[in-house]
Amino acid sequence: MTIRLFLIIFLSVSLSAIAQITLKTGVSSPKAQLAMQGATGIDLVWAIAANWYVVFGLALYFLGAVVWLFVLARVDVTMAYPFVGLGFILTMILGAWFLSEPVGAVRIIGTLLVVAGVALISLS
């Protein structure tokens, strides 16, 4: 695997991780929480869809998927997909950094196990 292809994989995974944080920000805002309280059906969908963070997060997911299609056209899925595990790492770091979510020893150990798995698969 070339460094260029690895960077493209990393871009796709990063876009998905950033999308997670953006979506969480959108649905966790007081305005969104208030809009979703008691909403059902189309009102609930509209309350979520009207949030710009949610719209931007979904756009990031879409862009990440387009980049991922580029990856799948060039790499075996069994080689590429394990790199999706890097998304767990990025999401944990971004969640701690931007959302002040707690990151304890168990999460860190679990994340390191994911890194080890990705490293082993990439060496094959």
Rounded to whole angstroms, the Cα distance separating 95 from 101 reads 6
Tokens representing 115 are 């890194």
Tokens representing 110 are 């679990």
Q: What pLDDT shows up at residue 57?
A: 96
Q: What pLDDT shows up at residue 116?
A: 84
2: left (phi over 0), alpha (psi -120 to 50) or beta: beta
- Is residue 36 classed exposed, middle or buried when 0-12, 13-18 and 19+ CB atoms within 10 A define those classes? middle
Nearest of 7, 31, 3 to residue 86 by alpha carbon:
7
Q: What pLDDT shows up at residue 63?
A: 98
Domain boundaries, the chain: 3-123
Q: Which regions in the chain score pLDDT beneath 50?
A: none
3-class secondary structure, 100: coil
- pTM higher than 0.95 for the full model? no
